[in-house]
Amino acid sequence: MDTLAAGVTQLRIQRFVNVYFVETGTPGEWVLIDTGLPGSKKTILAAADKLFYPGSHPEAIILTHGHLDHLGSAKELADHWNVPIVVHPLELPYVTGQALYPPRDPTVGGSLAFMSRFFPTQLPNLTDRVQALDADDPSTPFLMNWRWLHVPGHAPGQLAFFREADRVLIGADAFATCHHDSVPAILLAAPKISRAGTPFNYDWEASRKSVQTLAALEPKAIGCGHGPVIIGPEAAAGLHQLADNYPIPTHGRYVNEPARTDASGVEHLPPAPKDTLPLKAAIIGGSLLAAGAAWLLTGRRKHKKSKAYKKAYKAAKKSGSYKSFTPPPLYRGGVGS
Ligand SMILES: [Zn+2]
Ligand SMILES: [Zn+2]
């Protein structure tokens, strides 16, 4: 666990995604921001016990957005603690099973985009627990010293949180504090303010504007959904650098035209570019299977046709020791032996 600021602790889960324990200002009260991937419940409970006291529970869970790596354990934790889950109203359709997010773009480049083909699209349904924050009230529910900012482009109702008093920013996936296009770089987590969530960004202009909005806050401490905390002058400097030179990809589904969403979900999608990977994967997979099958068949045939094997077996049988007969070394350990 790392301290982002007074009363704000970052917990990194599975070396990949962060959640935040944020104290409300009233002694013993706190809020959990984001919940990691499915299966993170135990880790989060253990951290909460350590940070506060055994059996401690938050006032609420607030989700920056509903992608699986942020909402994954929300239902289990909310049920365990009996607390509400709060989201921006524009996230409601996706976290209540009424709509799917704009499809990810695996063609946009980078190993995260490559891997995104294999991420599930169905999300846990939070209907029983979720409530939307009041879009007309800029203060964050349960966290009165924090204001929320709507930062779309990555998820339609994505939220960032800012505490003016000491200029602390929780930036969600509006950007990242590590190089986020590459899976190895995410695991290494070297601090670097970077574009985030590339294969999920359905509106690149909105993503750029969201980063500009956050840079204008001049944060002194930054924690995002992915990457380590960044504290000091490099926080605002790095964010301005990203905002001023926001790297929109050169190609990809949403580069020339965004997906359009409304209060009920996705309203319009640009056509999907041709994704050649499934064909390539099929060819590679097929070749491997064929090679494996050939190896198996060759091994068996060799064994069956082996004159040395038959000769050795006959000799063993003749001498009465065939019950403990082991094949000659060439065939021992081969398939069928
Ligand atoms: Zn995300
Ligand atoms: Zn994320």
Instruction: Please tell me the distance between residue 7's alpha carbon and the centre of ligand 2 in angstroms.
Output: 23
If pLDDT is split at 50, 70 and 90, which confidence band does 34 have?
Answer: very high
Distance 318 CA to ligand 2 centre (A): 70
User: Mean pLDDT across the stretch 231-248?
Assistant: 97
Alpha carbon of 28 to ligand 1 centroid (Å): 30
**Displacement of CA 188 from its chain's centroid (Å):** 15
Separation of first and last alpha carbons in the chain: 53
Please list all protein residues whose beta carbon sits less than 5 angstroms from ligand 2, which is an ion.
Answer: 69, 173, 225
pLDDT tops 70 at residue 283: no
pLDDT at 313: 62
- 291 alpha carbon – ligand 2 mean position (Å): 38
What is the bridge-based pairing of β-strands 2-5 and 8-13? antiparallel
Confidence of residue 326 (pLDDT cuts 50, 70, 90): low
Span 194-226, pLDDT tens digits: 999 899 999 999 999 999 999 999 999 999 999
- With helix as H, strand as E and coil as C, how does 27-83 read? CCCEEEECCCCCCCHHHHHHHHHHHCCCCCCCCCEECCCCCHHHHCCHHHHHHHHCC
In this predicted structure, what is the pLDDT of residue 179? 84
In total, the chain counts a number of residues equal to: 337
pLDDT at 336: 33
Ligand nearest to the CA of 91: 1
CA of 176 to the centre of ligand 2 (A): 9
CA dist 40 and 160 (Å) reads 22
Residue 66 has pLDDT above 50, yes or no: yes
Question: pLDDT (tens digit, 9 = 90+) per residue, 97-133?
Answer: 999 999 999 888 877 888 888 888 888 999 999 999 9
Q: How confident is the model at residue 303 (pLDDT cuts 50, 70, 90)?
A: very low
The average confidence (pLDDT) of the chain is: 87
Q: Ligand 1 centroid to 208 CA: how many Å?
A: 15
Cα–ligand 1 centroid distance for 197 (angstroms): 6
pLDDT, one tens digit per residue, over 162-194 is 999 999 999 999 999 998 777 777 777 789 999
pLDDT digits (tens, 9 = 90+) for 139-168: 999 999 999 999 999 999 999 999 999 999
Q: How far is the CA of 66 from the centre of ligand 1 (A)?
A: 7
Please state, in angstroms and rounded to a whole number, the distance separating the CA atoms of residues 79 and 90.
23
- Residue 299 Cα distances to 294, 325, 335, angstroms: 8, 19, 6
* Range with lowest mean pLDDT among 187-191, 282-286, 297-301: 297-301
> Whole-prediction pTM value?
0.82
- Give the Å distance between the CA of 173 and the centre of ligand 1: 5
CATH number of 2-268: 3.60.15.10
